[in-house]
Structures are given as C-alpha cells and as structure tokens.
Amino acid sequence: MAFRALVVEKDEDGKTHGAVQTLSEDRLPAGDVTVAVEYSTVNYKDGLCLGPGGGLVRSYPHVPGIDFAGTVEASDDPRYSPGDKVVLTGWRVGEVHWGGYAEKARVKADWLVPLPGGLTTRAAMAVGTAGFTAMLAVMALEDHGLTPSNGEVLVTGAAGGVGSVATAILAHLGYEVAAVTGRPEQEGYLKGLGAARIVAREELAETVKRPLEAETWAGCVDAVGGAMLARVLGQMKYGASVAAVGLAGGAALPATVIPFLLRGVNLLGIDSVMQPYDARVRAWERIARDLPMEKLEAMVEPAGLADLPGLGAAILKGQVRGRVVVDVR
C-alpha cells in the first residue's frame, strides 16, 4: 500500500529541501513493527532534520520526525499486535532512521512504548519528545529533593515546547513557577499554563560577572543552556538542582565551579533519547497523571505534513509557541 511522507532530499550542491511524496511500502526501512502513524510533532531537533540536517541525518532521501503516535498495523514481535496504540520518542528515529513524518513507520519493537491509559495518540504528540523530556526533568529535580515548599522554580525557554510542558506540570504539582521568556507578548499564555510570574530573558542574558548572586531559585528546568544557564547556576539556593535539558541559547557553558563548591548546587543532565524502557513507562504514566489535559490543549498548534518545512525553519528561530501537533493523515 502506498503512503504519504514528507521526504527531505539533498541536491548536488548540498542544499536540502522537503516535499510531500507518495511512497510504496517497500521503501520502508527494516524493522519488526509497522505502525500506521496518526500524529507527529515539531521539536527543535526536527527543525534541524527538516533543514540542513545539523549533522544529525546520515543519508538522504530522509523522512524526519523524531517522535510519533499511532496504531500497530503489523508486528513480528510478541509484545505488539495489530490494533495496539503506541508512542515512540528518541532512539535517533527521525535522524538516523526514518521517522514520524509519514503515514507509516517501521521500527524496532524495543523503541516503542504502549500508549499510556488516559492519553489519546493526539495528546501523546501534543506532549511529544519536548514534553516527555520536561517530565524527565521534573522527576530528576524531585529525586534530588525538590518539593513545593522549597521555593520558586525557574523554567527557561518557557514559551517553547519543553518550557510550556514543564511550566504546566510544575504548576499543577503546586510549585510556584517563574517563567523566563524573550517574548513578553506570551505573558498571558504562560500565566494560563500556571506560571506565577514572568522573568524577562534580558534579565538573565548577561554573562556571569559574579560567580554567586542572591539565592533565588529552589530548582530550574533549563531549555536554553549557554550564558543563561551559567547565570542561573549562581542564583540557585543552597543544595538546589538545575535540570539541563537544552541548548536553544547555545552549547557553551561560560560558568565557574563556585556554585557547586560553595552552595552544593547540582547540575543534572537530562537525556530523553536513550532512556531505558522502564524509565520511559514511568515518565509517560506521570504525564498522564500530572499534566492537565486542558493546559496541554492550550499549547497545541495543529498542522499537516505540507506545513512542516516552514515550521522547521520557525522552531530554529524560536518562533514556535508551545507544541505543534502534526496530523500526518
């Protein structure tokens, strides 16, 4: 059976361009489960893979889409049967392997997670890799002792995907959330997700001048990295933790070790791609429990396959708000 996909090709001059194509099923890569994809989404990494590749894509033609949710169509693995609802994030799907920007995907059974009870395939992709990672970050902060009574929690890149979901989950759990954004016009949106106050990006944009500033934050989910993360480290309360998720503001970390040595601050690395299965199931169960569905719906911008090239460029410029849900059918 033929299926539609957003295929990225590379010209002889090295330029990439994506377009919707109809492919025959024998073009699908090897794998033990074939999924009828219903929804995918647009994450920062998708922006890279839709465009010049960012060093992530190995070969062309390529079908991007680092996550998807859908229904199993055929399976050679006893864990999955036709009709099962599944979700996939990570494992370099959409980068090295063909991904979710297609009506069909063929993957390893090990990479799939059964859709958690209480979530639709659409809601699972409103969460997507960005939201799944936000949950991992919140869980890591909790594991390091964060509770609502510890004080204000900072979320950077708050109007983006990771930041929006982190804000909504933390607020729902009773935390006082300070949301950092470079888009002041998103104040109403962020307060609607539960942010108690807005911190202007410029306030944290300057590079570190003093290694320690006033102890302000009880925890932080950081989607930005770079100079902002360096600055935030010096503002953490004694013994508090920062979950480092992203690099929307840069990969360099122009910091000193003083916050670690004098305030016992912890920098927790968060990786969603290679998370083991049990941790994935735990995170998805927590999402189904701790992320209010009406808040999730407020983040959603609907899209189709043909919209993807434009959305990929927009997310790389920090212009996408919340979560794009791509109905691939």
- Site residues, ligand NDP (CB under 6 A): 43-45, 129-130, 133, 157-163, 181-183, 201, 223-224, 228, 245-249, 270-273, 315, 318, 320
Helix (H) / strand (E) element for 108: namely none
Residue 122 or 183 with smaller CB distance to ligand NDP: 183
Minimal distance, residue 169 CB to ligand NDP, in Å: 14
Q: In whole angstroms, how far apart are CA 229 and each of 119, 122, 252?
A: 33, 32, 10
Rounded Cα distance between 295 and 287, Å, is: 12
Please, are residues 101 and 308 in contact by the beta-carbon 8 Å criterion?
A: yes
Q: Measured from the CB atom, is 273 or 298 closer to ligand NDP?
A: 273
Cβ 303 to ligand NDP shortest distance, Å: 14
Tell me which residue has its CB nearest to ligand NDP.
160
Smallest gap from residue 184 Cβ to ligand NDP (A): 10
Residue among 28 and 204 whose Cβ is closer to ligand NDP: 204
CB 51 within 8 A of CB 313: yes
Smallest distance, ligand NDP to C-beta of residue 14, A: 23
Tokens of 279: 């941790």
Using omega within 30 degrees of 0 as the cis cutoff, is the peptide bond preceding 61 cis?
yes
Cβ proximity to ligand NDP: between 72 and 112 the closer is 112
Nearest residue (CB) to ligand NDP, 72 versus 291: 291
Give rounded-to-5 percent helix, strand, coil for the chain. 35, 30, 40
> Within its chain, how far is the Cα of 20 from the centroid?
24
User: What is the number of alpha carbons within 13 Å of residue 23 lying toward its C-beta?
Assistant: 22
Smallest gap from Cβ 315 to ligand NDP, in A, equals 5
Residue closer to ligand NDP by CB (options 182, 263) is 182
What is the nearest approach in angstroms of ligand NDP to the Cβ of residue 208? 15
